Amino acid sequence: MSEYIFKLPDLGEGTVESEIGEWFIKVGDHIEEETVVGTMMTDKAAVELSSPVTGKVLKLAGEPGDIVAVGAPLVVIDTEGAVVADSETVEAASSEQPAAVEQTAEPVAVAAAASPAADAPAASLDEPIERSRVMTSPAIRRRAKEADIDLTLVPGSGPGGRILRKDFDSYLKARATGMTYAASAAPSTNVKEIKIIGVRRMIAERMSAAKREIPHFAYVEEIDITELEALRKHLNSSRGTDDRLTLLPFLGLALIKALKEFPQCNVTHDKNRNLLLQHDAVHLGIATQTPDGLKVPVVKHAEMRSLDGLAAEVRRMSLAARNNSAKKNELSGSTITITSLGKLGGIASTPVINSPEVAIIGVNRAVERPVVLNGQVTVRLMMNLSSSFDHRFVDGYDAAAMIQRIREMLEHPATIFLPG
């Protein structure tokens, strides 16, 4: 036997260890050179690793969620007789298959017997439900007597199993159609254990560190976006569905312009050197919900982009984050972040700062409301803009002044496009 030990390589960014995200192989598999064996999680992204050799998998370093040090064995591969491994594996698998089926049959039966409540059949309409006494209203008792119905047969969904009117009506309907009526399920005592691994572990660590280390100063301002929405709809009237504008690129341009006046908010904190790094470039993070959890793809040099250019890049980066095609460098390096819950935006929020940044802007839901304008009550489209700032480095006055500047531009959208 000739063993090859595939060690965890250096994944960059000073990584000394990495978490196993997912295995695509198992012990006993025959793999070819360049086969993707699994993913390893860094602080920024999931990195796919490929086998450098062909052979049979003898050993894996651990389970998803386990931590492996850089340079430590990750996969042990038998490279001897790799060419004939396929046929031998197929033959062995076909001879061992019946035994595997035989072994799994009994545990399945035991598991089913251990939890009868989970798969309890629907109660028959003529099968009394065990209860010490029937609790219901006099009106239900009268209806039951008139219909010659035994109330012990009717499941109750009220407190203590009390039969409500809807329970009685449902029972009558089921009885008339000859259907069975499912009795109320027994309270479940099952507790599912979910291992905190992968992207969820990284999110948990980053959120905990941000709230533990950063004194957040939250600020919420109400903004009249009636004129902005009219402009957005006008521009979209001549566009296809693939390039329609959302509110985000308008907010992005307004934020970029405001940061020229408030450069102390376009800063990252280097805590190891005790320095603030003030950036001329605006690398705009866009907090994006994905099936794997929250990710922050970054629009690099957003200050160089037009409205359409910014909108297109936001769409591209958000899609890449959702389908896991974003490169590692596209998920890091932001200098300020915008977060939005879309239609679920709520009235206000207190977004958590994306460390090492010092500010984050949160978009809330836009709703039509009556407001007083020029002494008259009128209906306007209003939206709250929530924000958080690192109070160690951004004073409350400067934070509020920057949000007010953004409000002015969004309420008078033509000013977003003026030079300067």
Q: Helix 247-261 and helix 226-236: axis angle, to 10°?
A: 130
10 given a catalytic annotation: no
| 3-state secondary structure (DSSP) of residue 243 | helix
Measured on CA atoms in the order 162, 165, 170, 175, is the torsion positive or negative? positive
Q: Which amino acid is at 349?
A: S
Q: For the beta carbon of residue 43, count every other beta carbon within 10 angstroms.
A: 16
Cis amide linkage into residue 356, ω under 30° from 0: yes
| Token representation of residue 128 | 């009394």
| 3-state secondary structure (DSSP) of residue 328 | helix
**Which pairing describes strands 359-373 and 336-340: parallel, antiparallel, or unpaired?**
parallel
Q: Is the CB of residue 47 less than 8 Å from the CB of residue 40? A: yes
The rounded distance, in Å, linking the Cα atoms of 411 and 225 is 6
User: Nearest CA to 338 among 309, 308, 292, 296?
Assistant: 296
DSSP 163-215: PPHHHHHHHHHHHHHT---PPPPPPP---------HHHHHHHHHHHHHHHH--
The rounded distance, in Å, linking the Cα atoms of 77 and 3 is 6
218: left (phi over 0), alpha (psi -120 to 50) or beta: beta
Q: Is the CB of residue 283 less than 8 Å from the CB of residue 333? A: yes
Q: Name the catalytic one among 29, 43, 391, 398.
A: 391
Q: Name the catalytic one among 150, 169, 395, 412.
A: 395
Print burial letters for 215-244: b (CB count within 10 Å at least 16), e (below 16): ebbebeeebbbbebbebbeeeeeeeeeeee
169 given a catalytic annotation: no
User: Nearest CA to 352 among 344, 364, 360?
Assistant: 360
The rounded distance, in Å, linking the Cα atoms of 317 and 297 is 6
Residues assigned a catalytic role: 391, 395
